[in-house]
Structure 1
Amino acid sequence: MNALDAEQNSKVRHIVATGRIYEEVLGLAEKTSAALIVVGAHKADLADYLLGPNAARIVRHAKCSVYVVR
């Protein structure tokens, strides 16, 4: 596995927040003009289109690309 070099690492942020997950993620993405949101998803009900409820809301409402990782 290759590690990110200093230039690549400077473009990646790790942020910890409290509140409703989807609201915090969408709000921060909009505030920072994010180009991509990466979100994990678990096996969920069919009603959530095979995504968890937070991942589904983020995918539906994000103004940028969303990459869902299972």
Structure 2
Amino acid sequence: MLTKIIRFFVVALLYLSAHSMTAQCAMCRASLESEGNTVKAEAVNDGIVYLMIFPYLLVGVVGYVVYRMFTKKKETA
């Protein structure tokens, strides 16, 4: 029961922190903000953050599969 609560808070924390991330390189930021078009800069930033999510999800899924394999192996032993 306690592990489910901890998992919920970890997932909630990761979800809430993803909205405040800024993942833009300095050169991209400078070129986009120098034009005065902040909407375009925000769109590029959102796209970069969106693309960064998938490697973390992939690592999380692989980690979960490995965890499940070890727990099932312990149950059968």
Q: TM tier, shorter chain?
A: under 0.3
Q: Whose helix fraction is larger, Structure 1's or Structure 2's?
A: 2
Q: Whose strand fraction is larger, Structure 1's or Structure 2's?
A: 1
Task: State the TM-score, normalizing by the size of structure 1.
Answer: 0.24
Task: State the TM-score, normalizing by the size of structure 2.
Answer: 0.23
Choose between structure 1 and 2 for higher RCO, CA contacts under 8 A separated by at least 6 residues. 1
Decide which structure has the larger Cα Rg and report it: 2
